[in-house]
Amino acid sequence: MHTQILVIGWGKAGKTLAGVLGRAGRSVTLVERSGAMVGGTCINIGCVPTKALVYSAEGRREEDDPTAYFRAAVAGRDTLIDKLNAANRAMLEPVEQVRLVVGGVAEFVGPRQVRVTGGEDELMITADTVIINTGAVPRTLPVPGADGPRVHDSTSLQHVEPFPARLAIVGAGPVALEFASMFAHFGSVVTVLERGERILRGEDADVAASMAEALTDAGVRILTGAQTTAIEDDAAPDAHPTGQRPALTVRTTAGDVTADAVLVAVGRVPATAGLGLDAAGIEVGEGGEVVTDDLLRTSADGVWAVGDVNGGSQQTYVSYDDHRIVLSQLEEPDGDRSGVRSRADRVAVPATIFTTPPLGRVGLSEDQAREQGRSFEVYAKPVAKIAVMPRPKALGETHGLIKLVVDTDTDEVLGAALHTVDAQEMINLVALAMRTGTTRDQLLDGIWTHPSTTEALNEVLASPRD
């Protein structure tokens, strides 16, 4: 068959492009290899289900049995995801011009020529335009025992059975720390194994220390300088049908750790294996990502790559912006290109780690500003000491740090790290301020609702850190 638009992968950018272009009258074919991934990573195994579990974990009381409570939380998670999965089907199934191929594995066999196989069935597709939207997958750990039945990635741990009384987590990045915080609140004794000197190596030391304090107070043990060398599980999978199996042993350079389950969270890599990109003349980078320019065009004519697979920031909202970039080109293929969007247009893109409390981050850190030779001042204060912001105290969660880096020449914000309740919302305000050139004085003198987290700006920005 021939189609004008072929989308490989049902992620945020791909499904949005399929819907918009199909409704505009283009013939679109969307291929998704797994029925369990209809709608993409975010709604099925990423953003939404994990944050649903985070919210559930934060509501557990001391008297709640961890195993029963976790099982109920997972059931609620699954009900929600089933609804979102069905809603994503409903968004595209009624569109006459969109053909959905679910359960088929796509592989390039030539320029804009793709073979889709599912069991004994095979479909050959040619297309005018191909959009690669296959996402990313968890990075594996190359040590003995890392492929054992009680060693999980961020997907399988969401349905871990039985609930682990002791959980070891290899890694100390955003995904690792979200699960560390989540499972500690569910009732696990959690140990984080970080091979470096501290967690969150990309953050300033004081921000990482704030996160470490919150995790430690939640019961998480953080072991640094701990390079994992092996994971040992001597129990045969069927030897203990009641689930009372001997503990795992995680061997590290800082000593051994015992656990009932292990999470490997050492990053995610673009999902390009098996796509046959060579056959289409599509260049791949050292990290396995599809190489693109700022318009998200690949090295092959008529082929774009969007979302996590192109090596950019692995965030669903960045994937959504990827769709805007590609759409702006496909809507006017031969017309005026002055309105075409570009990845270079992005300014102050925020991110949040959904620990308890969350950490929102945007722009330059203090270390990065110093490395760039910028003239700046730092405005920072621990959340517990911000008198004008009672909301964290009212919620009983006063861990954290509010920190902003401000250009001394322009008085504009260069970056911020907000480790506090509501950080996932407040960071968007700071990002908008950065995009619009709003100054420190304007944020300082802003009139904010009370009690809110935003009103911390009235105090934190009043004077630089000593």
Detail the residues annotated as belonging to a binding site for NAD(+): 171-178, 194, 267
Please state the residue numbers annotated as binding site: 51, 171-178, 194, 267, 308
Residue 223 CA to chain centroid, in angstroms?
24
DSSP E strands in 62-203: the ranges are: 98-102, 105-110, 113-118, 121-132, 136-138, 151-152, 166-170, 189-194
What is d(CA 418, CA 401) in angstroms, rounded to the nearest whole number?
6
Calculate ∠ Cα 358-174-11, nearest 5°: 100
What is d(CA 292, CA 132) in angstroms, rounded to the nearest whole number?
11
Catalytic residue among 2, 159, 240, 450: 450
Q: Both tokens of residue 464? A: 């630089």
SS3 399: coil
CA nearest neighbour of 309 among 30, 84, 23, 7: 7
Helix runs in 65-127, H state only: 66-92
Q: Is 450 a catalytic residue?
A: yes
Residue 62 CA to chain centroid, in angstroms?
29
Q: Both tokens of residue 233? A: 């599980």
What is d(CA 266, CA 194) in angstroms, rounded to the nearest whole number?
10
CA nearest neighbour of 195 among 258, 137, 259, 143: 143
Residues in a beta bridge with 30:
7, 100
User: Which residues lie below 8 Å from residue 46, measured CB to CB, with a gap of 6+?
Assistant: 316
Q: What does the DSSP assignment read for 224-238?
A: ES--EEEEE--S-TT
197 near 163, Cβ under 8 Å? Answer: no
65-69 long-range contacts, CB within 8 A, separation 24+? 66/163, 66/165, 66/186, 66/187, 66/188, 67/162, 67/163, 69/186, 69/187
Structure-token match 């092959």, residue found? 300
CA nearest neighbour of 100 among 5, 202, 170, 210: 5
Please state the residue numbers annotated as binding site for FAD: 51, 308
What is d(CA 372, CA 386) in angstroms, rounded to the nearest whole number?
30
DSSP E strands in 140-299: the ranges are: 151-152, 166-170, 189-194, 221-224, 228-232, 248-252, 255-259, 261-264, 268-270
Instruction: Give the helix/strand (H/E) hosting 207.
Output: helix 205-217
Annotated catalytic residues are 450
